[in-house]
Chains A and B, each alone.
Chain A
Amino acid sequence: MKTVQKLAIAALATSTLFAVTACSSGDAGTGSDGSGSASLRYWLWDSNQLPAYEQCVADFTEANPEISVKIEQVGWNDYFETLTTSLVGGDAPDVIANHASFYPELASSGKLLDLDDVDVDVSTFRDGLAERWVGEDGKRYGLPKDWDTVATLYNAGFLAEAGYTPEDLAELDWNPDDGGTWEETIAHLTVDANGVRGDEAGFDKKNVAVYGLGLKAKSGIGAFGQTQWSPYALANDWTYADKNPFGTEFNYADDAYIETIEWWAGLIEKGYMPGYEAAISGTSIQEAYGAGRYALVTDGSWNAKAYFGMTGVETGIAPLPVGPSGSRAGVMNGLADSVIAGTKHPEASKKLVAYLATADCQDIVAEAAVVFPAVKSSSDKARDAFLAAGIDVSVYYDAIDAGEYVDAPIANNWSSILAIMEPAVEAVLLGQGDADTLKQGADEVNSLFR
Chain B
Amino acid sequence: MMTTETVAIATGGRTRRRPHRALGRENLAGWLFAAPAIIGFAVFFVWPALRGAYFSFTKYNLLTEPEWIGVDNYTRMFADGVFWNALGVTAYYVLLNIGFQTLLALGVAVLLHRLTQSLVIRGIALLPYMIANVIAALVWFYLFDYQIGPVNEMIAWFGLDRIAFLGDQTWAIPTIAFINVWRHLGYTALLIFAGLQMIPRDVYEAGAIDGAGEGRMFRSITLPLLRPVLAMVLVITVTGAFQVFDTVAVTTGGGPVNSTRVINYYIYDVAFTRGDFGYGSALAVALFALLAVFTYIQLRATRANQTDLG
Whether B63 pairs with A106 at a CB distance below 8 angstroms is yes
Whether B63 pairs with A278 at a CB distance below 8 angstroms is no
Whether A81 pairs with B147 at a CB distance below 8 angstroms is no
Whether B164 pairs with A275 at a CB distance below 8 angstroms is yes
A111 to B61, CA, bound (A): 12
A28 at the interface (CB under 8 A from B): no
Contact residues of A: prevailing secondary structure:
helix
| Contact among B144, B258, B272 with A80 in the assembled complex (CB-CB below 8 Å) | B272
A276 at the interface (CB under 8 A from B): yes
A423 to B86, CA, bound (A): 14
CB distance from A109 to the nearest CB of B (A): 4
Given A282-B146, A282-B147: A3 and B29 within 8 A (CB)?
yes
Select the residue from A1, A277, A422 with max chain B CB neighbours within 10 A: A277
B64 at the interface (CB under 8 A from A): yes
A131 at the interface (CB under 8 A from B): no
Given A419-B269, A423-B255: A281 and B63 within 8 A (CB)?
no
**Contact residues on B (Cβ < 8 Å of other chain), bracket:** 35 or more
User: A165-173, A283-291, A309-317: which lies at the B interface?
Assistant: A283-291
A282 to B62, CA, bound (A): 34
State how many residues of chain A have any CB contact under 8 Å with chain B.
42
Whether B147 pairs with A87 at a CB distance below 8 angstroms is no
Q: Which residues on A sit within 8 Å (CB–CB) of B146?
A: 277-278, 281-282
A218 to B148, CA, bound (A): 19
| Contact among A4, A87, A277, A283 with B63 in the assembled complex (CB-CB below 8 Å) | A87
Chain A, residue nearest B28 (CB): A4
Whether A415 pairs with B273 at a CB distance below 8 angstroms is yes
A288 to B144, CA, bound (A): 13
| Contact among A84, A109, A274, A423 with B258 in the assembled complex (CB-CB below 8 Å) | A423
Q: Per-position contact with B for A407-450: 1 when CB-CB < 8 Å, else 0?
A: 00000010110010011001100101100000000000000000
A277 to B256, CA, bound (A): 8
CB distance from A439 to the nearest CB of B (A): 16
Mark out the residues of chain B between 262 and 310 whose CB falls within 8 Å of any chain A CB in the assembled complex.
269, 272-276
CB distance from A191 to the nearest CB of B (A): 15
Mark out the residues of chain B between 58 and 101 whose CB falls within 8 Å of any chain A CB in the assembled complex.
61-64
| Contact among B63, B147, B256 with A105 in the assembled complex (CB-CB below 8 Å) | B63
Whether A280 pairs with B166 at a CB distance below 8 angstroms is yes
Whether A277 pairs with B141 at a CB distance below 8 angstroms is no
Mark out the residues of chain B between 1 and 40 whose CB falls within 8 Å of any chain A CB in the assembled complex.
25, 28-29, 32-33, 36
| Contact among A276, A291, A293 with B256 in the assembled complex (CB-CB below 8 Å) | A276
A20 at the interface (CB under 8 A from B): no
B187 at the interface (CB under 8 A from A): no
Q: Which residues on B sit within 8 Å (CB–CB) of A19?
A: none
B253 at the interface (CB under 8 A from A): yes
Q: Which residues on A sit within 8 Å (CB–CB) of B62?
A: 84, 87-88
B193 at the interface (CB under 8 A from A): no
Whether A281 pairs with B166 at a CB distance below 8 angstroms is yes
A113 to B181, CA, bound (A): 48
Given A109-B64, A282-B145: A276 and B167 within 8 A (CB)?
yes
A71 to B64, CA, bound (A): 27
Q: Which residues on A sit within 8 Å (CB–CB) of B253?
A: 218
| Contact among B142, B148, B168 with A277 in the assembled complex (CB-CB below 8 Å) | B168
A426 to B142, CA, bound (A): 22
A4 to B145, CA, bound (A): 61
B182 at the interface (CB under 8 A from A): no
B165 at the interface (CB under 8 A from A): yes
A109 to B277, CA, bound (A): 14
Q: Which residues on A sit within 8 Å (CB–CB) of B142?
A: 283
Whether B257 pairs with A291 at a CB distance below 8 angstroms is no
Whether A281 pairs with B144 at a CB distance below 8 angstroms is yes
| Contact among A81, A109, A275, A279 with B61 in the assembled complex (CB-CB below 8 Å) | A109
Whether A280 pairs with B255 at a CB distance below 8 angstroms is yes
B239 at the interface (CB under 8 A from A): no
Whether A293 pairs with B63 at a CB distance below 8 angstroms is no
B237 at the interface (CB under 8 A from A): no
Q: Per-position contact with A for B212-253: 1 when CB-CB < 8 Å, else 0?
A: 000000000000000000000000000000000000000011
CB distance from B89 to the nearest CB of A (A): 13
Chain B, residue nearest A102 (CB): B275
30 CB-based A-B contacts, threshold 8 Å: A80-B272, A105-B61, A105-B63, A109-B64, A110-B63, A218-B253, A274-B147, A276-B167, A277-B167, A277-B168, A278-B146, A278-B164, A278-B167, A280-B167, A281-B145, A281-B164, A281-B165, A282-B146, A282-B147, A283-B141, A283-B142, A287-B145, A293-B148, A415-B275, A419-B269, A423-B257, A426-B256, A427-B257, A430-B256, A433-B257
Known contacts A217-B255, A281-B144, A282-B167; can you find 11 more A-B pairs with CB under 8 A? A4-B32, A84-B63, A109-B64, A280-B164, A280-B166, A280-B167, A281-B145, A282-B148, A283-B145, A415-B275, A416-B274
